[in-house]
Amino acid sequence: MKTSNIRVRFAPSPTGFMHLGNVRSALINYLFARQKDGIFIIRIEDTDPERNVDPHATRILSDLAWLKLSFDEGPEKSGPYAPYFQSKRTALYTEALNTLKEKNVIYPCFCTTEELEKKRQRQLALKQPPRYDRACLTLPKEEVKARFERDMPFIWRFILDHTKTATFYDLAHKTMHFELKHFSDVPLTRQDGSFTFLFANFVDDVAMKITHVFRGEDHLTNTAVQVALYEVFEEEVPVFCHLPILGNVEGKKLSKRDFGFSLTDLQEAGFLPEAITNYLAIIGHSVPKEIMSAQEMIDSYNFDHLSATGQIKYDVEKLRWVNHQWIKGYDLDKLVELCRPFINKKLPMLSSWDHEKIKALLLPIKEELVTLKQSADLLTFIAERPTLDTTLLETYKLSNSKEALKKIIPQIASGSPETGVLALKALCKEHSFAVKDIYSLVRIALTGSAQGPAIHDLLGMLAPEEIKIRLENLVK
């Protein structure tokens, strides 16, 4: 039984993927609901046919499940205010529109996009605030009737009282005031008859008894207009909280060109859901510690000290650090499970290897892993024999040690890493070779690179016959 009346909602459009700003909104809604013992609702904003790429919001729901952001009401779960797809709630919007018609606070606007753009340009040129000039508000009744009869496309606009100021409370920005004289009469419908998100969200927030609205700061000015709607309907205005927009390292709004813009980028690169939510909870916010479990985030997130900075830096390097910490914290068995899909995809040859074998391969590289995908990258040498770079080999003086190395191949490939390492050490001693040169040569022969796991580990990771083939290739 929930003890509070707090109800929050995450209202994504089913555009086919979630960007990190969406993920952050979902997370903050979730943390607030869980901390305050409230209800977390998912409501799909699918009123715009052009943005409705994933009609059943399958992707959003699977992403939320992947992120472990559980909700209480929403698609596939239902609840007392179903349906949770806005496209199925149009009767409600029509009813609200009719109420506004009766109150005489809306009018049809027949202006085309081109006309509106021209007016806007003209106002800008005249250094006037770009605001709809209300040309259609004063159309004679007969003219409006005639246009309706001709089926001329139109939208419904809500008349804003230019003498008024919209006031609302925002957890981050505190009390906000917006003079409505700076705003255009706001469109409530589109020319195809569908409802704008601004109107539909207002209607649903009232219908679903939403008490707190957490969303991106890009909606701050929309709120002024929504508050005007709350007033006309004499409904209680919820508390708002506009979250800073995520910016890239250059301080620009995060865009598709930035790695990590979409959740898909991060999933494919092998970031953990726990690390992503952990990272998004700590940025732009003072926290008691940086690595936190979901419960710790719920308990410690401080909603009284939210920043109103407008933009916060989304720093993939920091996210990588958080991911690294999470990977290090997992035990090896769990890590095998998590890395498996990446290893199987990149190195199909290893897909038939059993759990224990993969575990033995991951043990020496575990501490290095920053992303899960790197497991496949670091293990590529197991599946693929390296091509040797002769120039690189000469930097480690292969010509000097070639003949001597040839003689000890049987010991190195004996199947016992200890024997192999002892043989290499003895070789260095006997011929006064630098250990670094010899180890680098063996590592290059086995992996293609002079850097990587310790020789002892490498000799345990590859089969003895394979070690033999690769070393013979080195000294041939």
Which stretches of the chain bind ligand GLU, using CB under 6 A?
A: 11-13, 22, 45, 201, 215-216, 219
Using CA atoms in the order 298, 300, 305, 308, what is the torsion angle rounded to 10 degrees?
-50
CA angle 432/438/443 to nearest 5° reads: 170
Task: Please check whether residue 347 is in contact with residue 376, taking contact to mean a CB–CB distance below 8 angstroms.
Answer: yes
Token digits of residue 321: 């650090």
Nearest to 421 by CA among 412, 430, 410, 431: 412
Q: Which is nearer to ligand GLU, 13 or 440 (CB)?
A: 13
Task: Please check whether residue 24 is in contact with residue 284, taking contact to mean a CB–CB distance below 8 angstroms.
Answer: no
Based on the residue annotation, tell me whether 127 is a catalytic residue of this protein: no
Task: Please check whether residue 369 is in contact with residue 324, taking contact to mean a CB–CB distance below 8 angstroms.
Answer: yes
* CB 41, min distance to ligand GLU, A: 11
CA distances from 471 to 387, 418, 460 (A): 12, 17, 15
Token digits of residue 119: 């007016």
Which of the 8 DSSP states describes residue 194?
P
* CB 45, min distance to ligand GLU, A: 4
* CB 208, min distance to ligand GLU, A: 12
The distance between the two most distant Cα atoms of the chain, rounded to a whole number of Å, is 107
CA distances from 217 to 121, 197, 221, 241 (A): 26, 16, 9, 8
Q: Which is nearer to ligand GLU, 256 or 289 (CB)?
A: 256
* CB 191, min distance to ligand GLU, A: 20
* CB 183, min distance to ligand GLU, A: 17
* CB 122, min distance to ligand GLU, A: 30
Q: Which is nearer to ligand GLU, 42 or 97 (CB)?
A: 42
* CB 103, min distance to ligand GLU, A: 23
Q: Which is nearer to ligand GLU, 131 or 219 (CB)?
A: 219
* CB 216, min distance to ligand GLU, A: 5
What is the DSSP track for 398-465? HHHHHHHHHHTHHHHTSS-HHHHHHHHHHHHHHHT--HHHHHHHHHHHHHSSSSSS-HHHHHHHS-HH
- 3-state secondary structure labels for all residues of 252-305: CECCCCCCCCEHHHHHHCCCCHHHHHHHHHHCCCCCCCCCCCHHHHHHHCCCCC
Q: Which is nearer to ligand GLU, 75 or 417 (CB)?
A: 75
Q: Which is nearer to ligand GLU, 13 or 248 (CB)?
A: 13
What is the DSSP track for 2-37? --S--EEEE----SSS-BHHHHHHHHHHHHHHHHTT
Task: Please check whether residue 136 is in contact with residue 107, taking contact to mean a CB–CB distance below 8 angstroms.
Answer: yes
Residue number of the CB atom closest to ligand GLU? 215
Task: Please check whether residue 326 is in contact with residue 272, taking contact to mean a CB–CB distance below 8 angstroms.
Answer: yes
Q: Which one is catalytic: 141, 256, 289, 476?
A: 256
Query: What is residue 169's three-state secondary structure?
Result: strand
Q: Which is nearer to ligand GLU, 11 or 423 (CB)?
A: 11
**Other Cβ atoms within 10 Å of 432 Cβ, number:** 6
Task: Please check whether residue 420 is in contact with residue 378, taking contact to mean a CB–CB distance below 8 angstroms.
Answer: no
Phi (first) and psi of residue 74, to 5 degrees: 155, -170
Q: Which is nearer to ligand GLU, 45 or 63 (CB)?
A: 45
* CB 22, min distance to ligand GLU, A: 6
Q: Which is nearer to ligand GLU, 201 or 371 (CB)?
A: 201
How many alpha carbons fall within 13 Å on the CB side of residue 319? 26
Q: Which residues are catalytic?
A: 256
